[in-house]
Structure 1
Amino acid sequence: MQQFDSVTARLIMVLAETGSIGRAAERESIASSAVSRRVSDLESRLGVVLFDRSAQGVRLTAAGQIYAERCRNVLREIAALDTVMADFATGQRGSLRLACTSSALSGRLPELLALYADKNPTIALEIQETSASKGLAALDDGRCDIAIVSDNYDFSRFEIKPFEDDHVWVVVSPDHPLASTIAEQRQIGFDQLLCYEMVGIHQTGALDRLLAEAARKAGRTLGERVRVESFPALVRMVEAGFGIGFLRSTSLHLVAGTDLLAAPLAEPWARRQLLVAQRRNSPLSAAMKLFLTLCVQTYLPSP
């Protein structure tokens, strides 16, 4: 059968109810001839007679009764579908797929997601913790809706907004030669740190790339003594005396309860951000719009 015609289906139901082409045309605000033509065309296409015609009006045939009943079911489903789609369009239903770095999950994102979930309980959240490069690849491929990542990547294909300030800090043990300097200063220059061994983190990760590039521009290399794959492990290795370590501000909570000393780096390049990224020129679902609005409303830049 050809494509379902909801207008004609509606006419069939009104004709069955009124028993009159004239009354059906009046109710639907169309010409009687248009009603007759639609019904005749439908009967010709189906190869069945839907109505018995007489001077008293029209009455459904057996085939017409089945057709009208099924039309009623289809139109109900269409109305229900419209209602469901309206819920998605207004954000009352839907899903939000996020790809985010560990730094994002260590910062304000969990509380923001809790607020979002509380405001939008019918929107399903799918959260994937990943590296920034993999998060952007997932965004590019359509495997996620929004990515929250560090700022030192190529964002030419994406639209971005600031999500959270995430400056770079150095942490040292209390018996390290730099301990007194850090205790006395509000910030410290990167060049003062390059002669000391360090605990490396996440090779080719965002922070690793950032520090390596800064050292290269200074004509130096970073003296790694050991390398770890998590920030809690980095903190423990710094505590044990394996060298200085670098953390972003979203991970500074890991220093709480330790004797480690910390200070932000003084250089402008160390004043980093986490960014919320979306595909450029891509339509936004209501769930995405609600989340992006919340991100902007709750972002507070560091002084």
Structure 2
Amino acid sequence: MQLFDPLTARLVVAISQYGSIGRASERENIATSAVSRRISDLESRLGVALFDRSMQGAQLTPAGEVYVAGCREILRQIADLNTRLVDFSTGESGGLRLACTSSALSGRLPELLAEYASAHPRIGLDIQEMTASLALAAMDDGRADVAIVADNYDFSRYSTEVFEDDNVMVLCSPDHILAPRLQSGQEVRFDEVVEHEVVGIHHSGALDRLLSAAAAESGRALGERVNVETFPSLVRMVEAGFGIGFLRSTSLHLLAGTDVLSARLSDAWTRRSLLTVRRPASPLSAPIRAFLDLARKTYHPQL
């Protein structure tokens, strides 16, 4: 049997995440036919099928589940070894790999990274924007050193710190019935606004999950009039009068140049954060330590 091939291992893990050879090939920037051939060759050498292929995609077989778990472990060990070796240098070289959500890139992270890059010009930055679940998977696979994601996930296996406050806000247009309430400058309860039609934002996202859980807790359903995929689109639809909207505070800059009104929600569940997340077992190289130290020093909690 040939030696372990990290590229093929990454492809197997990617296919298991996406359920698609095509999407895995896009992530690794390899032709779909080449990916399919690599997987077929691997299955031939192993003598087992790793995936059940169909028109709906590729799903792991029981043997594939075992193989993917092993690949993840080996890829983590390779990444950790590379990180440890960085500390044999002065710490002024090497790299920092971040997996972060769009909310993180909408907040203070870009300015923080600019300050970091200025102080450490020889450290390479690899910034990957993705959903929170994929960011955590990137750490598990050894493709990221640190993830920056919303706080409403299961972090029991990880080490976390608050990176930035990211409270939930409610939005409406100036002619909406709620406009005087939002203009008052006071916080608003969720049950005051939940009965109004809502401009929804990508289902299964962090904010959508929060709102759905809160609505279920209150015994009500969110009345979505329209549903959009991006936060700029949400702001535009709220401005046009299609309903109220909800936004994390890191995205409030999107209201610039609009007449949209906003107010903080007073409910305890709306006090949210973005977190820096790491695997506790992964080593802390000098570049990672420098980034975490800068993040701590520049974090100022919202009042």
1:92 shift after superposition? 1.0
1:151 shift after superposition? 0.2
* Contact 1:87-1:93 at 8 Å conserved across structures: no
1:89 shift after superposition? 4.1
* Contact 2:87-2:286 at 8 Å conserved across structures: no
Question: Match for 2:104: what amino acid?
Answer: A
- Render the CA deviation track for 1:225-282: whole Å, top value 9, x for unaligned: 1111111000001011110010000000111111111000000110100000011122
Moved more, 212-221 or 178-187: 178-187
CA distance in 2, matches of 1:106, 1:184: 27
CA distance in 2, matches of 1:287, 1:190: 42
1:140 shift after superposition? 1.5
Q: Which residue of 1 aligns with 2:124?
A: 124
Q: Which residue of 1 aligns with 2:298?
A: 298
Q: Which residue of 2 aligns with 1:164?
A: 164
Question: Match for 1:254: what amino acid?
Answer: L
Q: Which residue of 2 aligns with 1:271?
A: 271
* Contact 2:167-2:264 at 8 Å conserved across structures: yes
Q: Which runs of 4+ in 1 moved over 2 A?
A: 85-90
Question: Match for 1:212: what amino acid?
Answer: S
CA distance in 2, matches of 1:88, 1:165: 36
CA distance in 1, matches of 2:241, 2:254: 16
Q: Which residue of 2 aligns with 1:205?
A: 205
**How many percent identity over aligned positions?**
62
Q: Which residue of 1 aligns with 2:283?
A: 283
RMSD: 1.2
Question: Match for 1:148: what amino acid?
Answer: I
Q: Which residue of 1 aligns with 2:47?
A: none
CA distance in 1, matches of 2:202, 2:275: 19
Q: Which residue of 1 aligns with 2:253?
A: 253
CA distance in 2, matches of 1:175, 1:288: 48
Q: What SS does the corresponding residue of 1:174 show, helix, strand or coil?
A: coil
Structure 2 residue 137 is the aligned partner of structure 1 residue 137: yes
Aligned residue-pair number: 219
Gap runs ≥5 in structure 2:
1-84
CA distance in 1, matches of 2:89, 2:98: 19
- Render the CA deviation track for 1:43-91: whole Å, top value 9, x for unaligned: xxxxxxxxxxxxxxxxxxxxxxxxxxxxxxxxxxxxxxxxxx6775432
* Contact 1:91-1:290 at 8 Å conserved across structures: no
CA distance in 2, matches of 1:153, 1:271: 15
Specify the structure having the higher radius of gyration (Cα).
Answer: 1
Gap runs ≥5 in structure 1:
1-84
- Render the CA deviation track for 1:88-133: whole Å, top value 9, x for unaligned: 5432110111011111101000000000000100010000111111
Within 5 Å, give how 1:234-249 maps onto structure 2: 234-249=234-249
* Contact 2:172-2:239 at 8 Å conserved across structures: yes
Within 5 Å, give how 1:168-183 maps onto structure 2: 168-183=168-183
Classify 1:94/1:236 alpha carbon distance in 2 versus 1 (closer, same or farther; 3 Å).
same
* Contact 2:171-2:247 at 8 Å conserved across structures: yes
Q: Which residue of 1 aligns with 2:151?
A: 151
Q: Which residue of 2 aligns with 1:47?
A: none
CA distance in 1, matches of 2:121, 2:146: 19
